[in-house]
Amino acid sequence: MMRFALFQYVRENSVIRYPFEQQDVNRMILGFKDGRNVYTRWAARQFARALTAMDLSDTIIVCIPASTRYAHVRRWKRFSELLCQLTGAINGFDRIQVSGSRKRAHITGDYELATNIKHYVHIDAEYFRNRKVLVIDDICTTGQSSDAFIGAMRASGATVTMAMFLAKTKQHRIG
């Protein structure tokens, strides 16, 4: 399975040391995570541009759940609609239900999704069984959350063909 990130993300405590272009990308990524409409449209266009060469007519787009139901809907509902309109893919947003909440892994470093996914996310297994799925997330830091969600999708019978991320966290070396 292929994994692909569109941009690099620099942690907020070190972004000031980077050029304006990186700071601007960070601002847009964080605006998207906050669910702001202008950045939702920006992110959908970025993904659609990267996917232009692919026929997605038989592929379901599913976004990795955010930390709460509210954050999940705010971040992914409109994005999923826009991206599917732009690419011709099938919108799987309503087939993933988030209940409860979990810690925000990029802030706490606690990747609860990896250990608690069955208590936090409901996947419509009947709908996804034997269907192609493209998984999308905003920021990939360690890959633990995406690995857990992809595993749950596969356990539900889905064929996950690719995982795409808006950004991959740039790891800093000390020393």
Residue numbers of the chain with a pLDDT score lower than 70: 15-16, 102-116, 172-175
Radius of gyration of the chain (CA): 16
**How distant, in Å, are the alpha carbons of 22, 79, 138, 154 from that of 34?**
18, 12, 11, 29
Strands 90-91 and 96-98: unpaired
Domain ranges of the chain: 2-169
pLDDT of residue 99: 86
pLDDT of residue 86: 98
pLDDT of residue 175: 44
Q: How far is CA 36 from the centre of its chain?
A: 16
| Under 8 Å between Cβ of 165 and 138 | yes
pLDDT of residue 173: 56
pLDDT of residue 119: 74
Please give the CATH topology (third level) of the domain spanning 2-169: Rossmann fold (3.40.50)
| Under 8 Å between Cβ of 92 and 133 | yes
**Nearest Cα to 97, choosing from 111, 112, 117?**
117
| 8-state DSSP, 174 | P
Cα–Cα distance measured from residue 151 to residue 2, given in angstroms and rounded to the nearest whole number: 15
